[in-house]
Amino acid sequence: MNFLTSLFENSQLPILSAFLLGLMTAISPCPLATNITAIGYISRYFNDRKQVLIRGVIYIVGRAITYTSIGLLLYFGANQFAISGFIQQWGEKLLGPLLFIVGLFMLGIIKLNFRGSGVFSKKVQQLNQNRYTDVLLMGIVFALAFCPYSGVLYFGMLMPLTLTNASGLYLPIVFAIATGIPALIFTWVIAYSASNLSRTFNRVKSFEIVFRKIVSVVFIGIGIYYIFISF
């Protein structure tokens, strides 16, 4: 790891270094788990490949907001060790229960039965369909899932590049794009395959219901994974 740190810090192409660090982060355990969850969630819209592409890009934008915001805090003098320690301590602990509960909602195991909840749910659904707030928030929250390995890549390798280069503030954005590219590619592939499969069997609605249940189980499974490793 010391060799890699030296290599990236001495690189004459900081943007390329940030991109490679992002790809390395994307396949590390915690970000990989969140990307798998995002892939399943976004792929629910397999009937509209344009929506899949748009939501995948907005998911990356959400990740970029988080990584850039942290970079700005550090750039303007925040304590790197304090922020890194707080995120690594609480990010996974909060994310696990959140994913688990959302998965239960998606399966219909937990329902909002208070007066007016049906209208509220429809309004939220319309808001998400029109403004993509769901995947944006997902990207923002999921980017906080730092495990020790991804924490070293971001705080120990990307941040020195960010703080020592004139174009440093662009690097977290490049990093975020790289962390989200695998999710975008796999989401498109799954959506394309699922769309063709549903047309082949001429059962789009039935296939969509089953697919959404699978996504719910993925949320619950990843949530349990985070709860297990955090507690």
Q: Which residues of the chain have pLDDT under 70?
A: 1-12, 80-81, 86, 88-92, 110-130, 165-167, 194-208, 211, 230-231
pLDDT of res. 129: 54
139-182 confidence digits (pLDDT tens): 998 888 877 777 888 888 888 887 776 667 788 889 999 988 88
pLDDT of res. 151: 80
34-46 confidence digits (pLDDT tens): 888 888 888 777 7
pLDDT of res. 89: 66
pLDDT of res. 92: 65
Contacts 24+ apart (CB under 8 A), 214-219: 214/40, 215/40, 215/41, 215/43, 215/44, 215/106, 216/103, 216/104, 216/106, 216/107, 217/103, 217/107, 218/36, 218/37, 218/40, 218/103, 219/37, 219/40, 219/41, 219/99, 219/100, 219/102, 219/103, 219/106
| Gap between the Cα atoms of 11 and 27, Å rounded | 22
pLDDT of res. 13: 72
Q: Is 26 exposed, middle or buried (0-12, 13-18, 19+ CB in 10 A)?
A: buried
**Whole-prediction pTM:** 0.71
How do the domains of the chain map onto residue ranges? 14-230
